[in-house]
Amino acid sequence: MDSSLPWKKVVALTGILIQILCLCTLVESSPSLFDRIISLPGQPQVGFEQYSGYVTVDEKKQRALFYYFAEAEIDPTLKPLVLWLNGGPGCSSLGVGAFSENGPFRPSGEKLVRNEHSWNREANMLYLETPIGVGFSYSSDTSSYEGVDDKITARDNLVFLQRWFDKFPQYRNRSLYITGESYAGHYVPQLAELMLLFNKKEKLFNLKGIALGNPVLEFATDFNSRAEFFWSHGLISDTTYTMFTSFCNYSRYVSEYYRGSVSPICSRVMGQVSRETSRFVDKYDVTLDVCISSVLSQSKVLAPKQDGDTIDVCVEDETVNYLNRKDVQMALHAQLVGVRRWAVCSNILDYELLNLEIPTITIVQKLIKAGIPVLVYSGDQDSVIPLTGSRKLVNGLAKELGLRTTVPYRVWFEGQQVGGWTQVYGDILSFATIRGASHEAPFSQPERSLVLFKAFLGGLPLPEAF
Ligand SMILES: *[C@@H]1O[C@H](CO)[C@@H](O)[C@H](O)[C@H]1NC(C)=O
Ligand SMILES: *[C@@H]1O[C@H](CO)[C@@H](O)[C@H](O)[C@H]1NC(C)=O
């Protein structure tokens, strides 16, 4: 030891060394440290922790997925881990799921307001922007955005979760549920199937159930229930309904459209359907007002607000503004790579859209056979994936599996009102509607959605009385 070293310096050096050592142990025991959100700009004070950041799923092409994680409000260590995925394909679970549907906050002007019916009351909620090219998720190699499909997405999602557990080892063996809506009717079962496969080598995923909201499970059944929904809700005339069911149905139109050659008859039928339904009706909730500024983004028409209107139909615009703020992106540890702005649905992702036609109801069948409980729920005002198609698919699946009805078709309650209808088969496959809910059910019916979510996690039947 150099005895000429002044005493003070030695002390200072030792101090630095101790600090470095402490930091190292901290990082080692809690690698999530750097992803911890201190506070989101404009957020009210809360008692739970939030984290966000990146998980690299492919070092070579520098593909990284962005997540936002809101721990449960009370007793996070005792609550399950729930992954939430939005669909599209190509739409953001952060912007849609977390900030418009079931996350702890919703943007309102410069501020964030509490969502009193946030799903993190019941679970630790993990929102993933997937696949790459969605929201803040990126690839440094832009050719990676071409031809992304269900297979790539499922594999990336699996790798994401595996590596996310390295950041959050305390969640590794936690009860895990995968939830999502719309095109997540593909993502969720496909990811669950990969997990079960992975578990055969190494039991990593403690998968306890999946829940699918207004999901695409079987393209033709789901899409062809649209005509009747339009017709029975008065959105199209009797004549148009006949054309839409006999001359060209919706699955045929979509199938032609994605192959780049729409037949004259389908073009005529769809033209008439569009004229009658009008673009001023939200197809994701035929009873809800539209956000005029979104529909007519070029003009400045103000929608007169009705009294007692508690739902902000322009929440999507608010989210776009909020997530494009530099201070918000800093707080989230997010960066824009290869895009100038954060968007609700990706403009750069070139998804293999014909994957839409891959049935995933068959995967759901496998999951049930493997003992994984499944809930399919429908916001009953959605015309995009109407409840009738989902109900028919679930009913058909129950028959195929030979599952007997364990809860007969009946109403369920939230408060003193009917929250929707439900039926359960073999105590493992459940169907439920959410009355008055849109495609994004937790957005338009937050209370009812939370009751449904709680029952799902508890493996309990929905409230039969009040
Ligand atoms: C994981 O949790 C299950 C209970 O859900 C338990 O039986 C199992 O032993 C746990 N495994 C590990 C590795 O902790
Ligand atoms: C939809 O149209 C296709 C092609 O014409 C046909 O094969 C299918 O049976 C139709 N489905 C329904 C539900 O009408």
pLDDT tens per residue, range 65-122:
999 999 999 999 999 999 999 999 999 999 999 999 999 999 999 999 999 999 999 9
Residue 387: is its pLDDT beyond 60?
A: yes
206 within ligand 1 shell (Cβ under 6 A): yes
Using CA atoms, how far apart are residues 32 and 28, in angstroms rounded to an integer?
9
Name the residue at shortest CA distance from atom 11 of ligand 1: 173
Cα of 368 to ligand 1 centre, how many Å? 21
Closest CA to 367 of 214, 222, 208, 213: 208
Convert 165-188 into a string of H (helix), E (strand) and C (coil): HHHCHHHCCCCEEEEEECCHHHHH
Centroid of ligand 2 to alpha carbon of 25 (angstroms): 62
Q: Is 173 in the pocket of ligand 1 (CB under 6 A)?
A: yes
Atom of ligand 2 nearest to the CA of 251: 1
Both structure tokens of 183 = 């095109």
pLDDT over 90 at 281, yes or no: no
Q: Residue range 434-448: average pLDDT?
A: 95
Of 3.40.50.200, 3.40.50.1820, 3.40.190.10, 3.40.50.720, which CATH number belongs to 50-220+354-458? Answer: 3.40.50.1820
Of the candidates 353, 358, 357, 377, which has an alpha carbon nearest to the alpha carbon of residue 439? Answer: 377
Amino acid at 305: K
Residue 204 CA to ligand 1 centre (angstroms): 9
Task: Classify residue 163 as left (phi > 0), alpha (psi -120 to 50) or beta.
Answer: alpha
Domain ranges in the chain are 6-31, 50-220+354-458
- Is 255 annotated in the active site? no
Strand positions, DSSP E, 214-366:
350-351
Task: Give the ligand at the shortest distance from the Cα of 249.
Answer: 2
Q: Rounded to an integer, what distance in angstroms lies between the CA atom of residue 355 and that of residue 357?
A: 5
Question: If you write DSSP's letter for every residue of 204-230 in order, what string do you get?
Answer: ---EEEEEEES--SSHHHHHHTHHHHH
Task: Write out residues with Cβ below 6 Å of ligand 2.
Answer: 220, 224, 249, 251-252
Q: Kindly report which listed range (112-116, 234-238, 296-300, 435-439) carries the lowest average pLDDT score.
A: 296-300
Name the pTM for this structure.
0.89
The percent of residues above 70 in pLDDT, for the chain, comes to: 89
Question: What rounded mean pLDDT belongs to the chain?
Answer: 90
Residue length of the chain: 466
Evaluate whether 371 touches 365 at the Cβ level (below 8 Å).
no
How far is Cα 427 from Cα 461, in angstroms, rounded to an integer? 9
Q: What percent of the chain has pLDDT over 90?
A: 83
- Helices 184-201/150-167 angle, 10° precision: 60
Helix and strand counts by DSSP (H, E) for the chain = 15, 15
Check if 233 is active-site: no
Marked catalytic residue, from 92, 137, 182, 346:
182
- In this prediction, residues 413-442 reach a mean pLDDT of 97
Find the catalytic residue in 156, 222, 282, 382: 382
Is 105 in contact with 434 (CB distance < 8 Å)? no
* Cα 40 to Cα 429: distance, rounded to the nearest angstrom: 39
Query: Active site includes 182?
Result: yes
| pLDDT at residue 290, as a whole number | 76
Q: Is the peptide bond before 89 cis (omega within 30 degrees of 0)?
A: yes
CA 436 to centroid of ligand 1, rounded, Å: 40
For residue 129, what are its two tokens? 């922007």
Mutate-to-test residue for ligand 2 from 244, 246, 251, 357, highest number of ligand atoms within 8 A of CB: 251
Identify which has the larger pLDDT, 300 or 154. Answer: 154
Residue with tokens 């968007």: 343
HEC string of 73-92 equals CCCHHHCCEEEEECCCCCEC
> What DSSP letter does each residue of 144-156 carry, written as one string?
GGEEE-HHHHHHH
